[in-house]
Amino acid sequence: MLRLRCKARSGSYPLPGLTAHSRLRELQAAIATLTGVPVKAQRLLLGFPPLGLDLSDEERRLGELGIHSGDTLIVEEDAAKPKTESPIVTKRTVPNSVREALPVLARKVVPADNSCLFTSIYYVVEGGVYDPGCAPEMRNLIAQIVASDPESYSEAVLGKTNQEYCEWIRREDTWGGAIEVSILSKFYQCEICVVDTQTVRIDRFGEDAGYAKRVLLIYDGIHYDPLERKIPNSDIPPQTIFSASDDIVLAQALELADEARRKRQFTDVNRFTLRCMVCQKGLTGQVEAREHAKETGHTNFGEV
């Protein structure tokens, strides 16, 4: 099943029920129902920069057209064309507005609410869907996966017993990290790349699994944000899902991290000062915070 969306003047819509073997006519019929744009007047654009799809053969399969899960189709209505004609847009057709601006990789800022990792991952794997309410469901998903495999997720791996971890990760005041990223990479069947602004390196979760897709997050030591490729000053939806063979986007992510490092937009997790919001004790670095949490059970910290 393909996870697709379309964006038209009337709004953005999910396109359920389609697979790589679905016909172009099925896709166009679904778009017409959702957007009100008649099939014969549709112009469909895909990719970055957006290129027109060849709509001349309605029996072609979506997989043959290069449509993949996570894609967002731009729907335009060509009112000038007679409704009896089938619009044919070649793959070389590029709107003038696109020629005027090149897409850039940028940070999408999400709230620092203890669940930034989950909000960020949901945003990128869902193709740019921002839903801060997704965290409880994702926490519960992780807990279910961990509980179902106590051998792989043992106390040696988790730093606490399997049951304690499952109770811990479900709480809204706990932070996600490498373990959770690894689990979600397997669940979503995609490589999750985390670029660190302090060290200017990329940790690639699922790198050796052979996944076809890649998504990216940026991490400043305590906070995660999603990365997206977008055209400035444009209402064209951003791209958040990339090919796992797209190394250009990795280079762009490293440039973004290096710029943040030079501007000192990171937190040194070994030296930053914290305060326990439960007992008000002052702490330095993540090691002291972790030890305090183990001793007291307090996990609500604020940066000073």
Residues annotated catalytic, as ranges? 113, 116, 223, 298
Least Cα distance to 73 among 21, 37, 97 occurs for: 37
Burial annotation 76-104 (CB, 10 A radius, 16+ → b, else e)? bbbeeeeeeeebebeeeeebeebeeeebe
Please report, as a single letter, which amino acid is at residue 164: E
Tokens 């063979």, located at residue: 245
Least Cα distance to 126 among 211, 191, 215, 205 occurs for: 215
Alpha carbon distance 280, 301 (integer Å): 9
Least Cα distance to 124 among 184, 49, 196 occurs for: 184
Least Cα distance to 119 among 137, 141, 95 occurs for: 137
Least Cα distance to 231 among 102, 74, 71, 50 occurs for: 102
| Cα separation values, 33 from 26, 28, 39, 199, 228, Å | 11, 9, 9, 49, 29
CA angle 129, 73, 10 (to 5 degrees): 75
What is the longest distance spanned by two Cα atoms in the chain? 74
Length of the chain equals 304
